Structure 1
Amino acid sequence: MPVATDHLPSSRTAQPRRLFEITDHVLGILERGGADLNQLGMPAPPEPEDGLWEDVRVPRARALKNIWINSMKDAAHDEYLRWRLDDLAPEQKKDVLKDWLASLVEAKRVKGRPATLQLIVPGNVGSGKTTALAALGNEASEQGLHTLFVKHATYLTLRRPSGGPEDMTAYRVRKKFVEADLLILDEFCGEMDGVATEFARRETIDLVDSRLAAGRATAYSTNLRSRSTPQFPAPGIADILGERLLSRLQSRAHLEKIHGQDRRKPRKALDW
């Protein structure tokens, strides 16, 4: 009796996979995640064409760069990705930012802690603070630092039980932002007109304290002064978040004020 062979596998077309063989799909996932492919017996990838460090594993370097880009996109700041420190105006303190970045890169290379862990950048609205720190982050992410950008108000929202994405618990949100080599916390105390809630104070102090204890660098931009004074009666950081937080903020910190005209203000006043 003849046997139908239409559905039988052909030895010529369907070769069984070897045990533990890594498919191209799995290899791509590992590479995007920054896995060391040498440990899997895979050949080293070719040198990148975008000038990433030679002493940083290419998959790892690309992953770090993508992490930074995604954090900027999450903040709707895609337009800032083009800025580099050399593009900044002198009043945006590009030389100070270059020196601090160099110290962070060197500290990571020797597995040490930078002398300055916190950079505070106050200034008036529209003076270019966010642009300056975005340029810092752009270059840091290309020099081997795990760098993230988030607005202070956004971080607090993400830390609420139902504030983060469906696949990210409040614990994972905290872990993500505590473990970055460099965190740029934009608009610090923004959208806070008076005394902050206990939740905001607790979460902010926890983030600042945890990053200090871990020896990880943080850059803050803010439109506020440290505290209110008779000359400047508007609430400052100490008035909103408390003296304890201000004390922690000033620990191992460097202050660089950026003042200038509002770059976002139209040249001609709008008549409403």
Structure 2
Amino acid sequence: MSVTTDTTHTAPARGMNTFGDLSAHIVRVLENNGADISQLGVPPQPEPHDGLWEDVSVPQANARRTMWRNSIIDAAHDEYLAFRFDHLDESQKPNTLQRWLDSLVEAKKLDARPAVLNMIMPGNIGSGKTAAAISLGNEAAERGLWTLFLKHATYLTWRRPDSAPHNMKAWEVRKRFVECDLLILDELCGEMDVVATEFARKETIDLIDARIAAGRPTAYTTNLRSRRQPGSQAMGVVDILGERLLSRLESSAHLAKIVGPDRRKPAKPLDW
């Protein structure tokens, strides 16, 4: 039994074009050294916003702002997302923070190491350190810096196996917080004023030392003094990190001490 086929009107397989139809378009794309975006229906990107340097595109800037926002949400500090320098009082050093941020943006434009690499913001509990630090981060994120917020104790937890959120691996946690343009490390050495484990020391020293070596700025808030005070059992930061690292941190740092009453304390003591 023979079968006769007529190839005169044979059509290409469903969903495919003939090579001849594709080749002309491919040639045009190659001639233009890239994809013909207009043919794909993708609208052109808008121009960069004011305040961003020329080599940062709008999609990158939006992604960085989203990462900053997510870091604040992870820390359960959503209420501070609207804070800017204008919301701070004089005790929270808004002018000092503004000048430092200006220097960081300028250094980023020049691909240079900031003259003042670190901002240390010590103060008593409830004095407004975290609000000031997040205001700094909000402003920095708006100006194009890849900024992240993180509590020190949270970093130590996330560095343990299978403890980080968003399916991140421990090495990805370190990479993210070492490589961001500006890290705001809240409550430095918090919960370590009595005992600091070897793991906590090692991870803390590694993070801080890596950022200093790379010339990436960091803002630190802390309730602790730099060193143990006479007659006190409470450890200072130097007792946890060691004299060498604290000396490196302080050698390129500005101190913005936040002094004030506990803002979270009720005006009238509660009767229990």
Pairwise same-fold verdict (TM > 0.5): yes
Match status 1:116 vs 2:124:
no
How many residue pairs match? The answer is: 243
Q: Where do residues 1-272 of structure 1 align in structure 2 (5 Å cutoff)?
A: 40-42=35-37, 44-47=44-47, 53=52, 55=54, 56-165=56-165, 167-230=167-230, 233-272=233-272
Instruction: Tell me the percent identity.
Output: 62
| CA RMSD after TM alignment | 2.6
Whole-angstrom CA distance in 1 between matches of 2:115 and 2:34 = 35
Partner SS, residue 131 of structure 2: helix
With normalisation by structure 1, the TM-score equals: 0.82
Partner SS, residue 183 of structure 1: strand
Structure 2 unpaired stretches of 5+: 1-11, 23-32, 38-42
Q: Tell me the equivalent position of 2:26.
A: none
Instruction: Say if 1:194 and 1:240, in contact at 8 Å, map to a contact too.
Output: no
With normalisation by structure 2, the TM-score equals: 0.82
Q: What is the deviation of 1:195?
A: 3.2
Instruction: Say if 1:208 and 1:248, in contact at 8 Å, map to a contact too.
Output: no
What do the CA deviations read for 1:168-222 (whole angstroms, capped 9, x no partner)? Answer: 1111110000000000000111112323111111111111110011110000000
Whole-angstrom CA distance in 2 between matches of 1:54 and 1:211 = 23
What do the CA deviations read for 1:212-271 (whole angstroms, capped 9, x no partner)? Answer: 111100000000100112265532112233323322321311111001011111111111
Closer/same/farther in 2, CA of residues 58 and 16 from structure 1, 3 Å limit? farther
Instruction: Say if 2:193 and 2:236, in contact at 8 Å, map to a contact too.
Output: no
Closer/same/farther in 2, CA of residues 201 and 267 from structure 1, 3 Å limit? same
Q: Of the two, which has the highest radius of gyration? A: 2
Whole-angstrom CA distance in 2 between matches of 1:206 and 1:54 = 31
Closer/same/farther in 2, CA of residues 113 and 268 from structure 1, 3 Å limit? same
Q: Tell me the equivalent position of 2:28.
A: none
Closer/same/farther in 2, CA of residues 161 and 104 from structure 1, 3 Å limit? same
Q: Tell me the equivalent position of 2:25.
A: none
Whole-angstrom CA distance in 2 between matches of 1:96 and 1:133 = 12
Closer/same/farther in 2, CA of residues 265 and 114 from structure 1, 3 Å limit? same
Instruction: Say if 1:64 and 1:144, in contact at 8 Å, map to a contact too.
Output: yes
Structure 1 unpaired stretches of 5+: 1-10, 20-37
